[in-house]
Amino acid sequence: MSRWGGKKFLIETKPGYIYVRKNGKYLGRILAPEGTAEFDEQYWGILRGRAHEARTSWKALISSYRNSHRWTKLKPSTRGTYEYVLHYVEEKNGTRDMTRLRRKDVIAAQEANSHRPKFANDIPRVMSVLCEHAIDLGWIDLNPAKGVKSKPIPKDRQRPHIPWTDAAVEKFRAEASERARLIFEIGVGSVQRPGDWVDFVWGDYDGDSLRLSQNKTDRALWLPCTPQLKEALELERKRLGVTPHPSRPILIARGGGKLTTHGVGQIMRKERKRLGLMAYDQHAMRYRGVMELAWAGCDDDEIMSFSGHSTKAMVIKYAGLARQIMRAASAAEKRRLGARL
């Protein structure tokens, strides 16, 4: 008679870690003490396909992580990126024992999502963070996800953000829904990232300007509104019918809660598709704002004081494009006048 009373398909990988393995596959781990009724119940439940969730499951780890300082200290924009991976991991492996994770498993998950390169590269990064948390909990000793290299994004999948043209801006302002127009004006007028748009509350608007602390940099900014942004904000305030509470988000979801960056993306994608403007994405709205500041004669430092960019690289890229357009237009006008002489 075996130590498990004749039960088949049991294997102990290390002291205290007893699994049911059948046909070369691990079906689940038994958590109850040997020789108890609970041990028998879990054994038969696993064989019948009713595996018990491991104490050290991915679901338990993710739940613990969400209550840790590692999660609470993240910027909202970073949380948004992590959320997609957390949901994916929990959906695929929620009840499985995460202590059995191996480096090859992380790479396999990355490869399985190679059709969406950015997400594929986010998987090992977020799983590494989860494994570091598991080390803190004493579940594992080493981080198998650490050091997994990112896959290069194919050139045909690297789409540059094309700045909105005058014609695209005019069409969107004339034909987009009020909700999409408000998002658009906040994006272009504030010259901020989408993660900051959703954080604006009515208390940040004084009738002439908006103020914020950037999510990515914690930099405090005071932003005078463009006429178009003021018009959109006043229309939204009028639509509400009451003076909004200072803590109420300016961008609200249909259900009444705060609109998320994902929700913003859905709204804008739907309108851009309807209007035939899919070439111009929401991130490029910030670049349009940079170009408008350059067209107004602002130098790089003035633009950075408005956009909150920490380096001049992106400012130079899009302000430089705007200045080239101005110089080319000026040269064309001189050429036209010169041809008459």
pLDDT in tens, 177-229: 999 999 999 999 999 988 899 999 999 999 999 999 888 778 899 999 999 99
Q: Which residue has the higher pLDDT, 56 or 158?
A: 56
Instruction: Find, among 259, 267, 249, 250, the residue nearest to 172 by Cα.
Output: 267
pLDDT, residue 53, reads: 60
Domain limits, CATH 1.10.150, in the chain: 58-156
pLDDT, residue 267, reads: 94
pLDDT, residue 208, reads: 95
Q: What is the mean pLDDT of residues 93-121?
A: 90
Of 65-74, 149-158, 188-197, 258-267, the poorest mean pLDDT is in 149-158
Contact by Cβ (8 Å): 182, 233: yes
Is a pLDDT exceeding 60 seen at residue 172?
yes
Is a pLDDT exceeding 90 seen at residue 30?
no
Domain 58-156, architecture per CATH = Orthogonal Bundle (1.10)
Helices (H) and strands (E) in the chain, counts: 14, 5
Instruction: Find, among 272, 300, 273, the residue nearest to 285 by Cα.
Output: 272
pLDDT, residue 335, reads: 86
Is a pLDDT exceeding 90 seen at residue 230?
yes
pLDDT, residue 237, reads: 93
pLDDT, residue 58, reads: 93
Cα separations in angstroms, 70 against 8, 31, 79, 119, 129: 42, 28, 11, 20, 8
Instruction: Please provide the CATH number assigned to the domain covering 166-331.
Output: 1.10.443.10
Name every residue whose Cβ is closer than 8 Å to that of residue 301 and which is 6 or more positions away in sequence: none
> Could you read off the pLDDT of 303-337 as tens digits, one per residue?
988 988 877 887 888 888 888 888 888 888 888 88
Is a pLDDT exceeding 80 seen at residue 250?
yes
Domain limits, CATH 1.10.443.10, in the chain: 166-331
Q: What percent of the chain lies above the pLDDT cut of 90?
A: 48
Name the pTM for this structure. Answer: 0.61
pLDDT band at 52 (very low <50, low <70, confident <90, very high): low
pLDDT band at 2 (very low <50, low <70, confident <90, very high): low
The first and second tokens of residue 70, run together, are 């590692």
